[in-house]
Amino acid sequence: MPPESPAPVVSAGGKGWRAASRNGLFFWPALSLVLSLSVTGLLWQDARESADKDLQLDFDAQATAMVARLHAELATRELLLRGFAGLFKASDHVSREDFRHYYEILPADLREGSATSVAFHQQVAAADLPAHEESMRRAGFPDYRVFPPGARATYAPLVYIEPLHETNRRVIGFDPLTVEVERLAIARARASGDLALSARLVLAQDNGTRSPGFVMYVPIYKSVSAPRNEAEREAAFVGWLDAPFRMSTFMAVLPHDALRNIDLQIFDGRSTRPEALLYDANTGVHQDAELPGLRVERELGFGGHSWTLVFRSQPGFGGAAPYQKAQFVAAVGVLLSVLVCLLSASLINGYNRRMRAEYRRHKAAEQAVQDAERQRAEAALRESEARYQFLFRHNPMPMWVFDRETLAFLEVNDRAVEHYGYSREEFARMHIADIRPAEEVPALLELVGSASVREIRREWRHRRRDGSLITVLTNVEPMVYAGRPAMIVLIQDITARKAAEAEVNTLAFFDPLTGLPNRRLLIDRLQHALATVARVGGEGALLLIDLDNFKTLNDTLGHDIGDLLLQQVARRLQHCVVDGGTVARLGGDEFVVVLESLGRDGLSAAAEARKAGEAVLAALIQPYQLGAYSHLSTPSIGIALFDRQQETDSLLRQADLAMYQAKAAGRNSIRFFDPAMQAAVTTRAQLEADLRDALAKDEFRIFLQAQVAADGRIIGAEALLRWFHPLRGCVSPAEFIAVAEDTGMILAIGDWVLEAACACLAAWAKQPATAELTLSVNVSARQFRQTDFVPSVLAVLARFAVAPTRLKLELTENMLVDDVEDVIGKMSALKAEGVAFALDDFGTGYSSLSLLKRLPLYQLKIDQGFVRDILCDANDAAIAKMVIALARTMGLSVLAEGVELDAQRDFLAHHGCDAYQGYLFGRPQPVEDFTARFAAG
């Protein structure tokens, strides 16, 4: 029997390898799966956080942009109010028409902005309220009243508002000081002198609705320079400008899609309580729970007030796009994890090789596409450059390119070289400013330096190589030339067109012989003068000038000689008339002169018109050299005054009638259309001439009227000016003081009166009986405003060795209206030397108690108009008692003028009056007679 074959033997090592292989078959894929999923999870988390961060940054950026847009809108409205405030500062009086005109010339985007209107509130004291309401009713608002009604120390009614539609018209007269939040904002603006924003309120235009809004206030001061302190602000204060806003309208400045998927709430102040809510843009969609809830707060401060803006994201903000990357990462990660788990290493390696090969093929194809596109772009650029060079060089109009920073020429075309006369080499060494007149260079530099400049079409003047100036119309556009910022300019020479337009204008509006405005332009300027007078007040004059015997000159020497005379007359008239007057040739030998703003009343305007006519008359009667002939010519001048009620045709007829009156009177003379005015002007002219001679001829005297204390003692006198004319006799100061003020002679007269008074005081000082008397001297407003008034008064006192305490200067209330600080400074300087001040005619002017308490006064003088009827008129008696009580309270002396009866003196003495002056104690006397009273005991 053969031996049996041995049985197969399986070693323990072989079983272990296969077990390890089986274990590895599950372990490594499982490990790969865990690791892949872990990495996928980390990448997904990172992508998710990155999306959240991007979404938050986008949300913050949108919130910041909206806050900036709202702040910019507020700044724009502030600029609008500042412009109106500048209008008030630049004018002594801004009328309703001025206010409306300024509003209407504003750009449309400023007039139709977020503010409902622009309004002016005038400060009105309680005492002035009835007069204010009556004035507004006369101005075209018959039902005007200040509301809400009620007694207040100060009112701030709305008097001007634009646009003036029905809704805004209802709030004319509204007083914002009755609304707490507006009063606080107004007080803040007035205290700071700057813009202030109100808290949450309901606009008066909304007629009681609950639509929230706010108001922007700007205080107005009448001085041009800004007030430096509280006192100056109070003195210069006029009123307020305001701009009301509805929040719904104000928020419309945001782009229409700015609040898409964003909820915005605006709270008044820094609190976010519901009662502080100013605006809510709630879209009605609840926040999506799957998206992060974004929220940010911003503070907007403006005009001393602040808002809190709360932004919240709404469903759909950012969309699903920010999270697609995370979703993609998760999906790809899971897929790759499965693939790693299922595929063997060899398959993975093969897959990687295939992927690398595919990537190389893809990059090669992509590179080929990029190369092809680059080649096409380069070809298109070369073609475009060739077209540009062809159009630039062969353009029939001059063109050039210049460097925007250095202004050097970079390139010019052939037409520019030909038209301007410079060679290309010369252009290469020049700058754009070299061909401009010097006065246009600043405008050029400003234009080129503007960062926002785009295409500009503008007229300039250029200088060619031969020095001639041409007018050109340029089209300028920015460009990049050889990598540098530059500008390309297309030029059209419009010199001939401008010359033709000027010639047409000259032929249409100017006389070809004299170059003066013709009848058509005269009528236009005369209408403008009438409109100016109607707007600002005052009167003007029209002078019609006719050459005497001009026809005889034409008939004897010929029309060419007559034309020479007309040309020389035109030149002489132009030299005579300055300061805005118009000289025109009406036709033939008639010329017209139009003068504006000659005076506030007819008498002053007539006097100025006569001066102008006399100047014309003096100029035209001088000899003329007409070629080989010497000729004398005289004019006849007719003058017609005009105000706001005249028409051009009637005015020319009036001047024509007056001119024929001058011819009828013998020619070579001046006549006014109004015979009464002619007489008045003649009388005034003679009075001025006599007044100029009065000082030289020693025709002035001072008379003294006694001032008596309560015990009957004469304590001083008032110096009163008298004019003794050899023909007129004693001329009342009421007749000549106003003329002296208008002509400036009041300065010399005032100096004479002061010197005469000091001479009297010096004489009194030598006599014991009169050594303690004081002498009061009236000072005119024009004399007091002289810069050297204080040193000149002190110099006169020193020259006559008079104690300053014996001199008392009397001022009127109307002198205190202008430049209060200068008045106080001069009074304080003289008071420091001992000179006393009395306020004359107290109660008849415009001084305020706030001003009165600042003045270094010694005495108040009760005007004789109140004393005259003090016994029979309760109002006059009350005023006198009030003045005495006021003076007592302020520590001032009181003197009553015009006391003629014992009963008047007794009444005043009973109520505490200190001193008296009037016929009861003596009429004004010459200095010698007054002094003799003391010599007689």
- Summarised one tens digit per residue, pLDDT across range 170-217 is 899 999 999 999 999 999 998 888 899 999 888 887 765 667 899 999
Nearest-CA neighbor of 311 among 323, 324, 297?
297
pLDDT of residue 901: 94
- Summarised one tens digit per residue, pLDDT across range 605-618 is 888 889 999 999 99
Residues ≥6 apart with Cβ < 8 Å to 365: none
Give the other-Cβ count within 10 Å of 281's Cβ.
17
**What is the Cα–Cα distance from 439 to 791, expressed in whole angstroms?**
46
567 burial level (CB within 10 Å; 0-12, 13-18, 19+): middle
DSSP string, 345-372: HHHHHHHHHHHHHHHHHHHHHHHHHHHH
- Using DSSP bridges, classify how beta strands 118-122 and 305-313 pair: parallel, antiparallel or unpaired: unpaired
Which whole number is the average pLDDT over 565-584? Answer: 88
Which whole number is the average pLDDT over 563-587? Answer: 88
- Summarised one tens digit per residue, pLDDT across range 689-740 is 899 888 889 999 999 999 999 999 999 999 999 999 998 889 888 888 888 8
Q: Which residue has the higher pLDDT, 563 or 849?
A: 563
Examine residue 163 and say whether the peptide bond preceding it is cis (omega within 30 degrees of 0).
yes
Helix (H, G, I), strand (E, B) or coil at 598: strand
DSSP structure class, residue 44? H
- Summarised one tens digit per residue, pLDDT across range 845-897 is 666 677 788 889 999 999 998 999 999 999 999 999 999 999 999 999 999 99
Q: Which of 19-28, 243-252, 762-771, 850-859 has the lowest mean pLDDT?
A: 19-28
From residue 612, alpha-carbon distances to 337, 523, 542, 850 in Å are 108, 21, 11, 45
pLDDT band per the 50, 70, 90 thresholds, residue 681: low
Which whole number is the average pLDDT over 906-919? Answer: 94
**Which H helix or E strand runs over 610?**
helix 602-620
By percentage, how much of the chain surpasses pLDDT 70?
A: 88
**What is the Cα–Cα distance from 368 to 346, expressed in whole angstroms?**
33
For the sheet containing 409-412, what is the strand order? 409-412, 399-403, 484-493, 469-481, 456-463
pTM: 0.40
pLDDT of residue 345: 57
Per residue, what are the HEC states of 728-785?
CEEECHHHHHHHHHHHCCHHHHHHHHHHHHHHHHHHHHCCCCCCCCEEEEECCHHHHC
**What is the Cα–Cα distance from 924 to 930, expressed in whole angstroms?**
8
Amino acid found at 217 = Y
pLDDT band per the 50, 70, 90 thresholds, residue 243: very high
| Sign of the Cα pseudo-torsion (110, 115, 116, 118, in order) | negative
Examine residue 148 and say whether the peptide bond preceding it is cis (omega within 30 degrees of 0).
yes
The mean pLDDT value of the chain amounts to: 84
- Using DSSP bridges, classify how beta strands 915-916 and 925-926 pair: parallel, antiparallel or unpaired: unpaired
pLDDT above 90: residue 653? no
- Summarised one tens digit per residue, pLDDT across range 262-303 is 889 999 998 888 888 988 887 444 344 344 578 899 999 998
pLDDT band per the 50, 70, 90 thresholds, residue 493: confident
Nearest-CA neighbor of 172 among 222, 120, 219, 99?
120
- Beta-carbon-side half-sphere exposure of residue 384 (alpha carbons within 13 Å): 6
Kindly provide the b/e burial profile for residues 854-893, where b requires at least 16 CB atoms within 10 angstroms of the residue's own CB.
Answer: bbebbbbbbbbebbbebeeeeebbebbbebbebbeeeebb
- Beta-carbon-side half-sphere exposure of residue 667 (alpha carbons within 13 Å): 10
Under 8 Å between Cβ of 612 and 635: no
pLDDT above 60: residue 461? yes
pLDDT band per the 50, 70, 90 thresholds, residue 453: low
pLDDT above 90: residue 159? yes
